[in-house]
Structure 1
Amino acid sequence: MLTFAETRQRTLNTPDEIAAYLAETLRGMQEASPFRTGDEVTITSRSGLPPEIGVGDVGIMLCDLPNQLHSWVLVFTAGGQQMAVQIQTANLAKREPAAEAGDE
């Protein structure tokens, strides 16, 4: 088994090339993510999260990028305001929808 690092150099000459490269990079990161924008998530650990943020331990995924420590999640505060906050990605899981009364 052999492990090595490669370096690649690329020149981006115009704002359009820069934007296209960044868009391509983001698409790749999103494809590798276990979460998608709009996924309902459960906060599985409140480590570092004040009790007045993330009421109900649920939220909606706004942005999760692989190899980052935090994800952006839309939650409610205890005062009823919606707030986008960063939560450790390891402290989140996809939320399973509640079974409806007739589905039992």
Structure 2
Amino acid sequence: MLTFSESRQRTLNTPDEIAAYLGETFRAMQEDGPFKPGDEVAITSRSGLPPEIGIGDVGIMLCDLPNQLFSWVWVFTAGGQQMAVQIQTANLAKREPAAGGEA
């Protein structure tokens, strides 16, 4: 077994180059993630999540990047407001439709 580190240097000279690089990197990371934007997710553990956030233990995935501890999920609050929150990715699962085909 061999373990080593590599380093490379790249110069981005313009805002357009920076934006293009960030966009490419973001798209590549999203392709590797378990969730895609718009996926319905179930909150499988409420660890660290206040009871007034994430009503129904469901939400919509906004952003999940691999090797990150948290994902951004759109949920309802107890007051009926929609809110984007960070939830531990390990506490989420793709939501299965209810019996009878209703989501």
Q: Same fold (TM over 0.5)?
A: yes
Percentage of identical aligned residues? 85
For 1:23-62, list aligned pairs within 5 A. Answer: 23-62=23-62
Shift of 1:100: 1.2
Q: How many residues align?
A: 101
Shift of 1:99: 2.3
Match of 2:83 in 1: 83
Task: Please report the RMSD computed on the Cα atoms of aligned residues, expressed in angstroms.
Answer: 0.9
Runs of 4+ with deviation above 3 angstroms: none
Q: Give the distance between the partners of 2:75 and 2:16, measured in 1 at CA.
A: 35
Deviations 1:80-99, CA, capped at 9 Å, x for gaps: 11111000000000001112
Q: Give the distance between the partners of 1:80 and 1:74, measured in 2 at CA.
A: 12
Shift of 1:24: 0.5
What 5-or-longer segments of structure 1 have no aligned partner? none
The two structures have a TM-score, normalised by structure 2, of: 0.95
What 5-or-longer segments of structure 2 have no aligned partner? none
Matched letter for residue 19 of structure 2: A
For 1:90-101, list aligned pairs within 5 A. Answer: 90-100=90-100
